[in-house]
Homo-oligomer: A and B are copies of this chain.
Amino acid sequence: MASVSSIEELIDSLRQLPGIGPKAAQRMAYQLLTSDKETASRLGNALLNAVKNVKRCPRCNNLTDKDVCKYCSSIHRDDSLLCVVETVADMMVIEQSLSWNGRYFILMGRLSPLNGIGPNELELGHLIDRASEPEVKEVVIATSFTAEGEATALAITELLAKHTPHVKVTRIAKGIPAGAELEYTDVNTVAQAMLNRRIRENN
């Protein structure tokens, strides 16, 4: 900190945030130091506290500042259901959809040979251990519907069939997004939705 001023160091640090360019970093720094010093202090302390306290949940890989995360420790969730996702953000989207009351397992990525992420880089051994726990009856694979996400889903399906043959393995549905008009949906999605059509129940 001999030659770089506190302001320049702040602008440089803000630029490291995902999605923040040089102009936005400068604007943020000036606003924080001009009219928002309270926000600056609060965010500074929040960052240092989170770095110190937040770690991975040993059961699901979620971020937590407890010994076990709130989804793993909740007594109101169904122990027989395990949902496999790629990232913490994916898990949060499912939580926000209010469509899941089982447990989670976060792979921390997906198979991506071009980026050097093979089976050993994902938490697949950890997943098999988790799915082998006697209360687990169904594993829902909720990886994304990209080529890499699909390859990951396939690899997990094969692994679980081999190691936990008594567990039912399912995949979240691929289809036309809620609120979308068919006219503006890409044909590949429409074709998949047609193939995956289900019998309409009377309810």
**Chain A residues within 8 Å of B, Cβ to Cβ:** 1, 5-7, 9-10, 12-14, 16-19, 24, 26-34, 36-37, 39-54, 63-66, 87-89, 92, 108
Contacts and interface: CB of A to CB of B under 8 A. Distances in A.
B63 A26 contact: no
Contact of A43 (B13, B30, B49, B66): B13
A99 B195 CA distance: 65
Given A43-B13, A65-B5, A65-B7, A88 B30 contact: yes
Contacts of A48: 40-41, 44-45, 48
Q: What are the 8 tightest A-B residue pairs by CB atom distance, in nearest-first order?
A: A44-B47, A44-B48, A13-B46, A13-B43, A6-B50, A16-B39, A10-B50, A6-B53
B30 A17 contact: no
A33 B54 contact: yes
Contacts of A41: 47-48, 51
